[in-house]
Amino acid sequence: MAHPATPINPGPGGASAPPEAPPPVLEGASALLRERTRAAWLFLAPTLVVMVVVAGWPLARTFWFSFTDANLTDMAASQFVGLESLRQVIDDPDWWTTVWTTFRFAGVSVVLETVLGMIIALALNAKFGGRGILRAAVLVPWAIPTVVSAKMWAWMFNDIYGVVNAVLQSLGLISEPMAWTAEPGLAFGAVVAVDVWKTTPFMTLLILAALQMLPGDVYEAARIDGAGPIRAFFQVTLPMLKGPLMVAIIFRILDALRVFDVFFVLTGGGTETMPMAGYARQRMFEYQEIGVGSAAASLLFAIIALFTAVYMVVGRVKLGD
């Protein structure tokens, strides 16, 4: 899905001008070019300033804090302590519990979202009456705040009055009510359930958009070759969806690794069911250890930066074909 290259763009990257002499240009044209370049920077300036203020500067400060013993009560009195704050994070078994929880969460929920998203997208790609309405309905969980979906599910998962326990009990699947959000093992499942419900629409939409761009004649050919719908899916559809699917999956993994809201609302913040972002925030604002919390946040940033690099490489590859 490469962009139609803008004709002004001489080549990929654009920054590397060819070594040979530039073609002779009219005096007016080069003046115009200079004027446009100046305009470009002028137009970009406000955005760049805001980005530095809201992203660059706070990020740099967070990095700085992770080398200090900064405390919330008096942030000005912080001392440089080298790697001490970082060591406190790495030596803390609770940190590694949150790392494990976060990665498990990302893995399980992204797999479920992809599979479910694929099934729903394939269903919505078929022609049937009321398709538009169902497509809109599928979007709704995506639009509502995570906090709201977590609360709605927390009520459904309520151990005494919840509809989930009532239904499971009446079906005979469980003999007594389960504490879905209190027991760490179950709470993890509950968090995954909420996240999958909320973010599958996103997957569905991206897959659906990719499905609709597939050429129809390939299916015709597969059908003539006698491939059934399942074989056609695995041998024709899936390979052609690989690019967009990979991008969507990495996008979702990045999102899942920085998860905070669902866990916070659903489990209330016990260490056993806490994501990395929750750990960092707890150290910063509950224990008031800005330094240690910032060190944890910087570690999370490093992990995400790594995945972002992968995302960009995959994105680049896609743009190139």
Partner 1 sequence: MRWVKKAAFAVLLAVISVYTLFPFYWAIVSSLKTGSELFEVAPWPKEPAWGNYTAVFTAQPFGQNILNSVIVASAVVVLSLALGLTASFALARIQFRGRSTLLLTVLGVSMFPQIAVLSGMFELVRWLGFYNKLPSLILSNLILTLPFTVWVLTTFMRELPKDLEEAAIVDGATPWMIVTKVFLPLLGPAMATTGLLAFISAWNEFLFALTFSQSDNVRTVPVAIALFSGGSAFETPWGVIMAASVIVTVPLVVLVLIFQRKIISGLTAGAVKG
- Residues between 104 and 133 with contacts to partner 1, criterion CB under 8 A: 119-120, 123, 126, 128, 132
Distance CA(284)–CA(134), nearest Å, equals 43
Q: Is 148 in the site for partner 1 (CB under 8 A)?
A: yes
Q: What dihedral angle (degrees, nearest 10) is formed by the CA atoms of 164, 165, 171, 174?
A: 130
Q: Which stretch binds partner 1 (CB under 8 A): 79-87, 104-112, 156-164, 179-187?
A: 156-164
Binders of partner 1 in range 174-213 (CB under 8 A): 197, 201-202, 205-206, 209-210
From residue 281, alpha-carbon distances to 97, 147, 199 in Å are: 15, 17, 23
Nearest approach, Cβ of residue 24 and partner 1 (Å): 19
For 12-81, the DSSP string reads: SSSSS--SSPPPP--HHHHHHHHHHHHHHHHHHHHHHHHHIIIIIHHHHHHHHHTTB---GGGGGG--B-
Examine residue 236 and tell whether it contacts partner 1 (CB under 8 A). no
Check binding of 95 to partner 1 (CB under 8 A). Answer: no
| Burial category of 259 from C-beta neighbours within 10 Å (exposed 0-12, middle 13-18, buried 19 and up) | buried
CA distance 295 to 284: 10
* Nearest distance, CB of residue 2 and partner 1, angstroms: 9
CB of 105 vs partner 1, minimal distance in Å? 14
How far apart are alpha carbons 195 and 303 in whole angstroms?
21
Answer yes or no whether residue 246 interacts with partner 1 by CB under 8 A: no
CB of 306 to partner 1, least distance (A): 11
Binding partner 1 by CB under 8 A: which of 31, 77, 137, 313? 137
The answer to the question of residue 249 lying near partner 1 (CB under 8 A) is no
Q: Which CB, 108 or 314, lies closer to partner 1? A: 314
Work out whether 171 is an interface residue with partner 1 (CB under 8 A). Answer: no
**Strand ranges (DSSP E) for 180-301?**
none
Write out the two tokens for 204: 């569905």
**β partners of residue 68:** 80
Binding to partner 1 (CB under 8 A) within 23-62 occurs at 32, 35-37, 39-41, 43-44, 46-48, 50-51, 53-55, 57-62
270 lines the binding site for partner 1 (CB under 8 A): no
Does position 71 interact with partner 1 (CB under 8 A)? The reply is: no
Three-state DSSP class for 4?
Answer: coil
Least distance (Å) between residue 208 CB and partner 1:
8
